[in-house]
Amino acid sequence: MAIAFQPIQDGFAARVTGVALASELDRETVAAINDGMDRYAVLVFNRQPLEQAEQIAFACRFGALDLGLRKAVIHSKDRTYAATRLDYEALMDISNVDNDGALSGPESRRMLSNLANQLWHSDSSFQQDRVSYSMLSAVICPASGGDTEFADMRMAYDALDDATKAYLEPLEAEHFAFHSRELLGAFPTEEERDSIPPAVWPIVSRLRNGRRSLFIGAHARKVLGIPTAQGRMLLMDLLEHATQRSFVYRHQWAPGDLVIWDNRTTLHRGRPYDTSQRRELRRTTILEDAA
Ligand code: OGA
Ligand code: MN
């Protein structure tokens, strides 16, 4: 069966059939998935449960794997981020389950990460090494809630008026790893703060195909060259504009779903759920090819 893409919304998000992700993919299939990502920015694969090794093998076909926040603290005295119950360092445990297998408590660091993931963001936008795709594979889903929403930053850019586009064109924002946690009232230790210096990115990205896209989200804390308060207001206004329902695809998870999104052209956020139920997903994230 040949790989096929069935668009979910107008030019944004597509369901993919005709490919078995756990098998070794040929080069043409990988190229087709890359083309699909350029076009739709979010791809949904249903009923494709992956073992940990299979998810790592699949992800590696798209580039080198990112370690996200874990990388910065992996050598630190504080082992909270470094420890994992999963078999691979590059597999992120997106769950409400502690390393000992028990449900995470409301005050736990894992629950804080979960909540930070409920703010609109682009994975790892806070680091110098840019990332391309994230891939989330669902293992256990709660009976209701816990959807993930994706917003198309290309459509959001296109819908801006010309004066706003011109104003934004030269602007850059500073993205800081712990800003989203600070928004939730949780402040990093000095060691954590120093371990990931902020990164600066243009607010308007130019894509290879000539289109433009907004690059914002919960890690962005300052617009360079304008007062902090004014910059934050601008970022909040842009975020509100960019996450209108017409730009959003909401994914309702079933076990075995794999969703891939492009962090350069989309924002995403988790939605709340009853945290007395298990929700277990595993994420791999790809570093952008420097070439
Ligand atoms: C992520 C993320 C949201 C969710 O894994 O990067 O933001 O719904 N997840 O779990
Ligand atoms: Mn995320």
Q: pLDDT digit of tens for each residue in the chain (291 aa)?
A: 799 999 999 889 999 999 999 999 999 999 999 999 999 999 999 999 999 999 999 999 999 999 877 766 655 555 556 688 999 999 999 999 999 999 999 999 999 999 999 999 999 999 999 999 999 999 999 999 999 999 999 999 999 999 999 999 999 999 999 999 999 999 999 998 999 999 999 999 999 999 999 999 999 999 999 999 999 999 999 999 999 999 999 999 999 999 999 999 999 999 999 999 999 999 999 999 876
CA terminus-to-terminus distance, the chain: 33
pTM here is: 0.96
Q: Is the CB of 148 under 6 A from ligand 1?
A: yes
Structure tokens at 216: 């914002």
Q: Which residues contact 196 (CB under 8 A, 6 or more apart)?
A: 69, 72, 126, 127, 176, 177, 178
> Looking at ligand 1, which atom is closest to the CA of residue 92?
5
| Ligand 1 probe mutation, 69, 117, 286, most atoms within 8 A of CB | 117
Q: Is the CB of 132 under 6 A from ligand 1?
A: no
Closest CA to 151 of 13, 7, 290, 5: 13
Specify the residue with its C-alpha closest to ligand 1, atom 2: 117
Specify the residue with its C-alpha closest to ligand 1, atom 3: 270
Specify the residue with its C-alpha closest to ligand 1, atom 10: 270
Q: What is the CATH code for 4-290?
A: 3.60.130.10
Distance CA 109, CA 98 (A): 10
DSSP 243: T
